[in-house]
Structure 1
Amino acid sequence: MTGKNGDHESPRVSTPSNANANVKRIPPPESPAAVQTRFKVIAAFWAVIIFLGFPIWWKTTSVYRAHIPFQEMVDWADGKTCRPVFPLEIHLATPAMQSPEAQHLLRTTQHTLDDLNEFATHHLRLKLTNDSDTPTTQDDENSQGNASNAEKEAADTALTVRLLPQEDLAAPRSELHADTTQLDVFYPPSQTPVSSSSNPPLSAFIAGELQQLYAEEKATIAHILSSHAVGLDSPSPQVAGSISRRWRRSMQYAEIYHLSFSLFTPGPAPSAWDIEAAVDEYLSPLLRAFAPISNFTVDTQVQLYATFSPTATLPEYDETEAAWTLKKEGLSAFVNAAEWPLNPSIGNGPTINFILYIPDPSQSPLVVKENRASSWIIPQWGGVFLLNPPLSQTDSSGDRVNPAHLPLETLRPAFMTFSHQLLTLLGTPSTPVSLPLRLQTLIRVRAATLLLSASSTMGSLARLTESLPSIPIPATVSASVSATLSRLAATCSHLRAGRFGAALANARVAEKEAERSFFEKSMVGQVYFPDEHKVAVYLPLLGPIGVPLVIGLIKELKRVVASWKAQRRPT
């Protein structure tokens, strides 16, 4: 083709550039060998994950939960398995009565006791005995043939009542021995019961004395049981408040207590005291009497130049009393815990501190202002005793000074007070006057509290393990739970049979095993590692690995499905 200028023009060819851009380039088809290789690689990865990785992960991260009887533990906590009872066996000795008269007195007194008793859980069982005979009741002959070996074990004798006639009496009177478990009842011979009398005055007197003797124990046990179980009658608010105040002052029960006796003085003297002789003379008999309940260790120390705490209220001189006085509200700051080297708790048992403070001669005598007392109790901690003149002496210049050594007789009032303070701190009841009877009451009270405490711990453990299925239950916990339940059953059996010493021994072991199972370290640590923490740990590790594997598996599944559909499509 020729243009205007005679030049030749080349022909124009239009190229479809836009069309080529819109055409999707299809990769060349894969060879069957490549497809098969990719399938094998993906299958190998998932086979390793499913058949090797997942079982190893499951085995290494699974939580072992040993078998524990959940329902039985809850039943113990709810009081469905055992309702503790306290049958007290009281021996009735009638050396001056004939057998028919003694049997009639036993029946009428027992009926009177049953009528007076409004708390069926705690009841008194009378048994007739003589000095050389075995205690018997009117039903013993029928029951002995059917008794099992456990039932043949003798129950603890709570009290022995001796009936002694006395000519010059107009009415019966009683006398309780302070160092034994014997109650002597003196009665005029004219009041000897006869079979024709349905309610002899002597029976009413004995029943009234026994009710009065165990009134505080009944109220204490009723208060303890009512605070753990619904539906049980509790004592009056005044009695319950008195019992609560006494328990708040006492130490928590322990199998062993550490007694620490400290001598503090603001000057250089006294620097020695007959502490070993004082402990042996005034305290060891009491500690031996407590052996069925708790054991004790004793340590002592002497601290010179022990000053008052800077925050403590200093003594003030009272001219009307002619003494230096401490205000009652300031007694809580009297012990200088920051500078006085008081012994902390040693081992597993709590420490009870007893402080003997010798005031400076210039501040003697030192007493409490409100009641002129020289001692007081610090609840759940210990006691303090102020040892005042006349122990002060004068030196060569005529100044009053404290002696360098405290002999045994000088320590007597302090350690007699420490003995009473120890009884209070250990929760011993205030009545009756007989110490053996008070310790027997303490055995029954401690057995009840430990039984209820261990049962409550079992219920808490069962609810905890059910609410947190991710925490482990080691085999040691299962063994402790089994031991606890076994000991609880033994405790309940001994209580029903009146063997309170054996009941306390089993309850003590049950409480220890229950605490051990509840505070197992491996369980407690797992509580603070919930499932959210596990997800936070696994995601950064498994995310980068899992996403490519899952996407590759999905693509391969799509290819297999598409190939399968293509094969089924008609040609």
Structure 2
Amino acid sequence: MIKALQPLAHVSTDSQVLYYTRARSTPKWNIEMNAYSISRHDLPFFVDSDWNLNSPTTPADVHTLHFVVYVPPKEHCPLIITSSDGKALRLTAGAASPHQMIPPDELNILMAVVAAQLRGLIGLRPVPPASACHTPTPGGFTVALRGLPVTASALAEWEVDVLIRRRVMESQTRALHSLGSFADIVRKLPSIVVLDQIASQAAEALSLLQAAREGIAAGWYDVAIHDTQKAQAVADDVFFHPTVLAQLYFPGEQKLAVYLPITFPILTTVVARAAWELWHWYWRRTGALAQRLKTE
């Protein structure tokens, strides 16, 4: 399944075994079922925070998912999960202890649950459609529809194609949105300085989108998804460039609001003194001219 998702995302797996861990919710003995039981409403709080689950340090755009398989201790076997009305949902593996290996048939059931959860996370139905159904048409005919087969990877080839096309459209839309937002900023702030590097990156993103469009027209979605993902990354670099953000969050109006309270008192004093000197010079010159006229 991970290999089938390689065109869409880079997925890496790791395993971990924790021995003698205690759950936050303690199972209770159910006399009617002759087994230990735990309500399904307690499952979200079942994992204890003291469990030392590995969470590697990853970048912000990388997410870590934990799929936990709990093997109950021997004194809590068999363990039953009950619904809200008290009915049993699933029975665990007999009296298996943490020192025993999980049988292959039960391991297949566990991996089927993991595969169903992964399918739901990537936007597919948890269980692939495999049963036949009959759909009536407006003309009165009945068309039999049957789900296409799913390989051992839990993903059909047509499902991977659907995911690739969906991801191509999403990446293309996000790249165009980032470039359009950057163009709006430049249009609304004519004084903003755009470096040559930013302009070349924007041109590169547009060329990648054009190449992806040609790939979509030719049916080369494996090439188109690579071009659109790279175009999205380049477009985000253009929009979130440090020099652009610095000018965006510190425009000329903000500079005026910061420096005017500091310079206004000084400018007021200088202008008042200059006006006083100008008036004094004019008064002295006028007096000198009047004195000269009297003398003549």
- Would the TM-score normalized by the shorter structure come out above 0.5? yes
1:508 aligns with 2:229: yes
**d(CA) in 2 for partners of 1:323, 1:421:** 27
Deviations 1:310-360 (A, max 9, x none): xxx543444444443333333222233464434256234211221111112
Verify the 8 A CA contact 1:457 1:515 in the aligned structure 2: yes
3-state SS of paired residue (2:16): strand
Verify the 8 A CA contact 2:209 2:228 in the aligned structure 1: yes
Bigger relative contact order, structure 1 or 2 (CA pairs below 8 A, ≥6 apart): 1
Residue 16 of structure 2 corresponds to 301
**d(CA) in 2 for partners of 1:372, 1:470:** 69
Verify the 8 A CA contact 1:345 1:351 in the aligned structure 2: no
Identical-residue share of aligned pairs (%): 25
Within a 5 Å distance, the mapping from 1:42-53 to structure 2 comes to none
| Distance 1:541-1:314 versus aligned 2 partners, 3 A rule | same
Q: Bigger radius of gyration, 1 or 2?
A: 1
Within a 5 Å distance, the mapping from 1:80-229 to structure 2 comes to none
Deviation at 1:475, TM superposition (A): 4.4
3-state SS of paired residue (2:3): helix
Q: Cα RMSD (Å) of the superposition?
A: 3.7
Letter in 2 for 1:343: S
1:327 aligns with 2:39: yes
Q: Mind listing any 5+ residue stretches in structure 2 that lack a counterpart?
A: 130-147, 151-155
* Aligned counterpart in structure 2 of residue 402 of structure 1, from 90, 98, 105: 98
* Aligned counterpart in structure 1 of residue 117 of structure 2, from 410, 418, 421: 421
3-state SS of paired residue (1:510): helix
Verify the 8 A CA contact 2:77 2:94 in the aligned structure 1: no
1:346 aligns with 2:58: yes
Verify the 8 A CA contact 2:19 2:98 in the aligned structure 1: no
Verify the 8 A CA contact 1:446 1:504 in the aligned structure 2: yes
Deviations 1:216-239 (A, max 9, x none): xxxxxxxxxxxxxxxxxxxxxxxx
Deviation at 1:492, TM superposition (A): 2.3
3-state SS of paired residue (2:235): helix
Deviation at 1:554, TM superposition (A): 3.4
**d(CA) in 2 for partners of 1:409, 1:360:** 20
Letter in 1 for 2:93: P
Deviation at 1:443, TM superposition (A): 0.8
3-state SS of paired residue (2:11): strand
**d(CA) in 1 for partners of 2:246, 2:33:** 61
3-state SS of paired residue (1:305): coil
Verify the 8 A CA contact 2:78 2:95 in the aligned structure 1: no
Letter in 1 for 2:212: T
Q: Mind listing any 5+ residue stretches in structure 1 that lack a counterpart?
A: 1-285, 375-385, 393-400
**d(CA) in 2 for partners of 1:457, 1:511:** 8
Verify the 8 A CA contact 2:211 2:224 in the aligned structure 1: yes
**d(CA) in 2 for partners of 1:357, 1:530:** 56
**d(CA) in 1 for partners of 2:207, 2:79:** 55
**d(CA) in 1 for partners of 2:79, 2:190:** 62
Within a 5 Å distance, the mapping from 1:7-22 to structure 2 comes to none
1:355 aligns with 2:76: no
**d(CA) in 2 for partners of 1:524, 1:338:** 41
| Distance 1:494-1:357 versus aligned 2 partners, 3 A rule | same
| Distance 1:530-1:413 versus aligned 2 partners, 3 A rule | same
Residue 288 of structure 1 corresponds to 3
Within a 5 Å distance, the mapping from 1:258-269 to structure 2 comes to none
Residue 365 of structure 1 corresponds to 78
**d(CA) in 1 for partners of 2:76, 2:44:** 19
Letter in 1 for 2:81: V
**d(CA) in 1 for partners of 2:161, 2:225:** 11
Residue 196 of structure 1 corresponds to none
| Distance 1:496-1:539 versus aligned 2 partners, 3 A rule | same
Letter in 2 for 1:453: R
**d(CA) in 1 for partners of 2:28, 2:187:** 61
Output the TM-score relative to the length of structure 1: 0.39
Deviations 1:280-312 (A, max 9, x none): xxxxxx222222222222222222232223xxx
| Distance 1:402-1:549 versus aligned 2 partners, 3 A rule | closer
Verify the 8 A CA contact 2:178 2:239 in the aligned structure 1: yes
**d(CA) in 1 for partners of 2:216, 2:31:** 58
Structure with more strand by fraction: 1
Verify the 8 A CA contact 1:480 1:513 in the aligned structure 2: yes
